[in-house]
Amino acid sequence: AHSIVILLFVTRLVSAIGKSKPWTDFLPPNLLSLDFSERIRTDSLAIESASSDYGNIVHENPAAVLYPSSTQDIVSLIKFAYNNSAPFTVSARGRSHSVFGQAMAPNGVVDMMHLRSHREQNGVIVSKNPSLGFYADVGGEQLWIDVLKATLEHGLAPVSWTDYLYLTVGGTLSNAGISGQSFRYGPQISNVYEMDVVTGKGELVTCSAHKNSELFYAVLGGLGQFGIITRARIGIEPAPKRVKWVRVLYSDFSAFTKDQERLISINGRKQSNALDYVEGSLLMNQGPPNNWRSSFFPSSDIPRIMSIVTQHGIIYCLEVAKYYDDTTQHSVAKELQQMYKGLSFIPGFKLEKDVSYVEFLDRVRNGELKLQSQGLWDVPHPWLNLFLPKSRISDFNSGVFRDIVLKRNITTGPVLIYPMNRNKWDDRTSAVIPDEEVFYTVGFLHSSGFDDWQKYDDQNKELLKFCEKAGIKVKQYFPHDKSKEEWINHFGSKWRTFRERKALFDPKMMLSPGQRIFN
Ligand code: FAD
């Protein structure tokens, strides 16, 4: 159910409503006579399964879907597309948890998930060498939950995560892969040693910081524009057993951000008093304190939490975690006590949980299953994710959280806000972040009805306009819906390199057209 799909869009963009010509009008006639063509499907089931994503807002029918059984199938397909007299676009489709059609293509889609059942050792191989220590070679189609399970069998695990683990390795590395661990360990793209990539010319290239480094850095955060990741070598470390998971509440925004920033400033990998995870979120009357992202608050505490939410309009929730195991179980409580002393949260609003490491990392899954059972997981998701410079975060709070979000009163999903350290990101990658040492990520994770997602999108646009007018230099995470000028502006000083790398690795502009950067 969670395989990675490389979707091969072999024709022009067609709407899901069915105005399309028969696929045979768009496919190169000889495509279906090649040695991998038995794994290309053009039936309506295959087409439909590749025509939507988690956002459920953009729908596009591909002409064909490739279900690869090996990396070689992907190489053959892209080589064929590249050499065809009329090259066609190809999109790798991971879990398709993009929200605005980024994994779709007007021609063909490669269903990466299919590769999972064809991999040796389930696609996750743990090894060790003197220079890297432990590492895992994982298929680009693997889900992070499966990487976690496989590495834990060796008592090891990656250190940088996303909040939700049912995403593919190739999908998150094409963006950045962030969560509460990023302040300390960097995003997932800062924890990759090496990759195998099929470029837009159909060449299978092994790349790293030392070998084919231009491709390596291009692909990390590269929005699928330079190649399809078929293997990534990821750093892993001894895994902790348990987690102290804490939430404290604030009514004062500056006290909240001051504490967040202080906590992420102790960020050394080996420092024992450093936290392992720092995030934050808003509590508002528009939604319950517990939501699909995690059901943390005990029901007995909800009334008193809601009463301070009503009193202040917005309550800011700081969320931290400290890992521990048998050797550190005696010191962890003392370290947390020490930390609490330095924090300015509302007295009495400190809630602590003690959970297993897996329970903590996989905390979103229960909410997903619950919504799925209610038919509410597959609704439209007009999300907006931003990176903001620390120097303007207070203006963002007053202009956006208080003046737009609170007044419009439509937010029904989690709103996340937490800081990260720029020095944990590598500027040579394609990822784009603000030009300040500390920056925040803010995520509006809206769920809407099928006929009212537009009003959430309008709010997203309104707050982007506010930022532009106020001179707040935001960068979008999962950017979408941009004109050429806006893309140039988004990449800023990286645009030239991004364009040059495209010319180098995907000169016929075939890959991931759903991002709508070059197409
Ligand atoms: P897809 O949507 O399938 O693809 C995304 C893009 O990557 C497309 O352009 C596609 O062509 C390309 N691509 C896919 N596979 C490959 C590959 N192997 N090689 C090259 N390009 C490829 N993100 C975070 O950083 N942190 C979070 O905490 C987080 N939580 C999330 C929670 C939920 C419920 C959801 C829906 C999303 C979340 N995301 C988060 C966003 C997520 O990381 C991105 O949407 C990511 O792209 C999803 O991976 P995917 O496998 O579904 O990719």
Bridge partners, residue 418, by sequence = 441
Mutation probe of ligand 1 site: the residue of 57, 90, 164, 215 with most atoms within 8 A of C-beta: 164
pLDDT score for 10: 37
- 251 with 282, same domain: the answer is yes
Closest residue by CA, ligand 1 atom 36: 97
| Domain-embedded: residue 1 | no
Mean pLDDT of 498-518: 97
| Domain-embedded: residue 486 | no
Please choose, from the candidates 226, 157, 155, 225, the residue with its C-alpha nearest in 3D space to the C-alpha of residue 188: 157
Conformation bin of residue 405: beta by default, left when phi > 0, alpha when psi is -120 to 50 = alpha
Nearest ligand 1 atom to alpha carbon 53: 2
Examine the fold and report which residue of 347, 372, 397 is the final residue of a domain before the chain moves on: 372
- 387 with 355, same domain: the answer is no
Question: How much distance in Å is there from the Cα of 456 to the middle of ligand 1?
Answer: 21
Where residue 456 sits, what CATH number does that domain have? 3.40.462.10
| Domain-embedded: residue 504 | no
Contact residues for 491 (Cβ-Cβ < 8 A; gap 6+): 432, 498
Structure tokens at 175: 């963006």
Report residue 8's pLDDT band, with 50, 70 and 90 as the boundaries. Answer: very low
Question: How much distance in Å is there from the Cα of 9 to the middle of ligand 1?
Answer: 18
Bridge partners, residue 244, by sequence = 322, 354
Question: How much distance in Å is there from the Cα of 267 to the middle of ligand 1?
Answer: 26
Examine the fold and report which residue of 329, 349, 372 is the final residue of a domain before the chain moves on: 372
- 94 with 136, same domain: the answer is no
- 24 with 106, same domain: the answer is yes
What was the ipTM of the complex prediction? Answer: 0.99
Please tell me the distance from the alpha carbon of residue 480 to that of residue 88, in angstroms, as a whole number. Answer: 22
Please give the residue that has the higher pLDDT: either 108 or 428: 428
Report residue 6's pLDDT band, with 50, 70 and 90 as the boundaries. Answer: low
> Most confidently modeled of 23-37, 200-214, 407-421?
200-214
Please tell me the distance from the alpha carbon of residue 502 to that of residue 517, in angstroms, as a whole number. Answer: 11
Look at the chain and report how many structural domains it folds into.
Answer: 4
Residue 220 near residue 429, CB atoms below 8 Å: yes
Closest residue by CA, ligand 1 atom 35: 97
- 68 with 105, same domain: the answer is yes
C-alpha angle 166-172-176 in degrees, rounded to nearest 5: 140
| Domain-embedded: residue 500 | no
Please choose, from the candidates 138, 112, 136, 84, the residue with its C-alpha nearest in 3D space to the C-alpha of residue 7: 112
The fraction of the chain above a pLDDT of 90, given in percent, is 82
Nearest ligand 1 atom to alpha carbon 292: 34
Report the mean per-residue pLDDT for the chain.
92
pLDDT tens digit sequence for 83-124: 998 889 999 999 999 999 999 986 788 899 999 989 988 899
Report residue 328's pLDDT band, with 50, 70 and 90 as the boundaries. Answer: confident
Where residue 207 sits, what CATH number does that domain have? 3.30.465.10
- 221 with 251, same domain: the answer is no
Closest residue by CA, ligand 1 atom 25: 177
Question: How much distance in Å is there from the Cα of 169 to the middle of ligand 1?
Answer: 8
Please tell me the distance from the alpha carbon of residue 154 to that of residue 128, in angstroms, as a whole number. Answer: 11
- 267 with 356, same domain: the answer is yes
pLDDT tens digit sequence for 40-72: 999 999 999 999 999 999 999 998 999 999 999
Please tell me the distance from the alpha carbon of residue 384 to that of residue 443, in angstroms, as a whole number. Answer: 6
pLDDT score for 269: 65
- 228 with 305, same domain: the answer is no
Closest residue by CA, ligand 1 atom 14: 171
Residue 217 one-letter amino acid: Y
Question: How much distance in Å is there from the Cα of 164 to the middle of ligand 1?
Answer: 11
- 211 with 295, same domain: the answer is no
How many angstroms separate the Cα of 86 from the Cα of each of 11, 26, 162? 10, 10, 39
Helix orientation angle between 495-505 and 484-491, rounded to the nearest 10 degrees: 110
Tokens 């309008």: give the residue. Answer: 458
Cβ-based burial of 50 (10 A; exposed 0-12, middle 13-18, buried ≥19)? buried
Q: Residue 262: is its pLDDT beyond 80? A: yes
pLDDT score for 27: 74
Examine the fold and report which residue of 307, 340, 372 is the final residue of a domain before the chain moves on: 372
Please tell me the distance from the alpha carbon of residue 230 to that of residue 79, in angstroms, as a whole number. Answer: 15
Closest residue by CA, ligand 1 atom 37: 97
Q: Residue 193: is its pLDDT beyond 90? A: yes
Tokens 């936290």: give the residue. Answer: 275
C-alpha angle 314-318-319 in degrees, rounded to nearest 5: 135
Closest residue by CA, ligand 1 atom 40: 162
| Domain-embedded: residue 202 | yes
- 339 with 430, same domain: the answer is no
Closest residue by CA, ligand 1 atom 42: 172
How many angstroms separate the Cα of 123 from the Cα of each of 3, 19, 73, 488, 517? 11, 39, 16, 37, 31
Please tell me the distance from the alpha carbon of residue 487 to that of residue 284, in angstroms, as a whole number. Answer: 33
- 232 with 249, same domain: the answer is no
Question: How much distance in Å is there from the Cα of 349 to the middle of ligand 1?
Answer: 35
| Domain-embedded: residue 161 | yes
Please tell me the distance from the alpha carbon of residue 431 to that of residue 475, in angstroms, as a whole number. Answer: 10
Question: How much distance in Å is there from the Cα of 435 to the middle of ligand 1?
Answer: 24
Report residue 26's pLDDT band, with 50, 70 and 90 as the boundaries. Answer: low
Structure tokens at 303: 């009334």
Mean pLDDT of 491-499: 98
What residue spans of 37-178 are helical by DSSP H?
44-49, 71-83, 144-152, 169-173
Contact residues for 364 (Cβ-Cβ < 8 A; gap 6+): 163, 164, 165, 292, 293, 294
- 320 with 399, same domain: the answer is no
The residues annotated as belonging to the active site are 97, 163, 279
Q: Could you tell me the pTM of the whole model?
A: 0.95
| Domain-embedded: residue 490 | no
Pocket of ligand 1 (CB under 6 A): 53-54, 91-98, 102-103, 112, 140, 162-164, 167-168, 170-172, 174-179, 223-224, 228-229, 512, 514-515
pLDDT score for 268: 65
pLDDT score for 430: 98
pLDDT tens digit sequence for 136-156: 999 999 999 999 999 999 999
Domain enclosing residue 257, as ranges: 242-372
* Residue 499 host element (H or E): helix 495-505
Nearest ligand 1 atom to alpha carbon 95: 52
Question: How much distance in Å is there from the Cα of 99 to the middle of ligand 1?
Answer: 9
Mean pLDDT of 411-430: 94
Nearest ligand 1 atom to alpha carbon 368: 34
Mean pLDDT of 458-469: 96
Closest residue by CA, ligand 1 atom 12: 224
Contact residues for 488 (Cβ-Cβ < 8 A; gap 6+): 495
Mutation probe of ligand 1 site: the residue of 172, 292, 364, 386 with most atoms within 8 A of C-beta: 172
| Domain-embedded: residue 412 | yes
Q: Residue 13: is its pLDDT beyond 80? A: no
pLDDT score for 270: 64
pLDDT tens digit sequence for 366-376: 999 999 999 99
Question: How much distance in Å is there from the Cα of 176 to the middle of ligand 1?
Answer: 9
Nearest ligand 1 atom to alpha carbon 177: 25
Nearest ligand 1 atom to alpha carbon 176: 25
Q: Residue 293: is its pLDDT beyond 90? A: no
Please give the residue that has the higher pLDDT: either 202 or 329: 202
Question: How much distance in Å is there from the Cα of 419 to the middle of ligand 1?
Answer: 21
Structure tokens at 164: 């939700």
Residue 90 near residue 81, CB atoms below 8 Å: yes
Contact residues for 20 (Cβ-Cβ < 8 A; gap 6+): 11, 14, 61, 63
Nearest ligand 1 atom to alpha carbon 174: 7
Mutation probe of ligand 1 site: the residue of 162, 189, 517 with most atoms within 8 A of C-beta: 162
Closest residue by CA, ligand 1 atom 31: 164
Closest residue by CA, ligand 1 atom 34: 164
Residue 120 one-letter amino acid: E
Report residue 22's pLDDT band, with 50, 70 and 90 as the boundaries. Answer: very low
Nearest ligand 1 atom to alpha carbon 175: 47
